[in-house]
Chains A and B, each alone.
Chain A
Amino acid sequence: GAGVSQSPSNKVTEKGKDVELRCDPISGHTALYWYRQRLGQGLEFLIYFQGNSAPDKSGLPSDRFSAERTGESVSTLTIQRTQQEDSAVYLCASSKGQGPVLTFGAGSRLTVL
């Protein structure tokens, strides 16, 4: 597509429930990133996919967080047993190859009650 698409744009869930966030990168972009941004804070790196290489999961904060990517297309970030501290905007970005410039989606705002 023309840009990076994320869904849902907003998600309100109850503590303890699982959530899935989806990212559709720009067609042809081999690299895909997930970041988390808490209110008023900077971006916190979560996970990075590059082509068919093993993902860099070094930023995932706990084993409740996981992400998958199908080939060089859609990625899903899953948060199990959500906690209130998981409330944040989850941003997805993609880039061509290892090109340094990222194109971001509009984010998915998660609120855990």
Chain B
Amino acid sequence: SQQGEEDPQALSIQEGENATMNCSYKTSINNLQWYRQNSGRGLVHLILIRSNEREKHSGRLRVTLDTSKKSSSLLITASRAADTASYFCATGGNTPLVFGKGTRLSVIA
């Protein structure tokens, strides 16, 4: 069964706007990761946040984690057309990573 569930399923914004995607999960985790997928092919790791961290930044990415609510958010600031992709959260514990269904982001130039 899938652990993470992203929300929304699809998001369309104008270039320059910020994009926020959310992920909810069900059980305890050691860490949570976000991955990006272009054109239905291989995923690329973006950022990892550990269960004892609340916020993490990497370039234009900001990830938050609320373990009490079992949720995480990914914020992409000043979006670009090249950010158009699907974004997945993945939760890790003692089992192989479990991925959500993803948020499909479209950034319109």
B48 within 8 A of A: yes
Chain B interface residues (CB < 8 Å from chain A): 2, 30-31, 33, 35, 40-45, 48, 88, 90, 92, 95-102
- Beta-carbon contact of B97 and A42 below 8 Å: no
A26-63 near B? 1/0 per residue, CB < 8 Å: 00000001010101011101001000000010010000
User: Given A101-B33, A101-B48, do A106 and B42 touch, yes or no (CB 8 Å)?
Assistant: yes
Q: Measuring CB to CB, which residues of chain A are less than 8 angstroms from any residue of chain B?
A: 4, 33, 35, 37, 39, 41-43, 45, 48, 56, 59, 89, 91, 93, 100-107, 109
The answer to whether A107 and B41 have CB atoms under 8 Å apart is yes
Residue in contact with B98 in the complex, picked from A39, A41, A45, A107, CB distance below 8 Å: A45
Residues of B within 8 Å of A41, CB to CB, are: 101
- Which of chain A's residues have a CB closer than 8 A to the CB of B33? 100-101
Nearest residue, chain B, Cβ from A93: B43
B42 and A107 contacting across the interface, CB-CB below 8 Å: yes
9 interchain pairs, CB-CB under 8 A: A4-B42, A39-B40, A48-B96, A56-B96, A91-B42, A91-B43, A100-B33, A100-B97, A104-B35
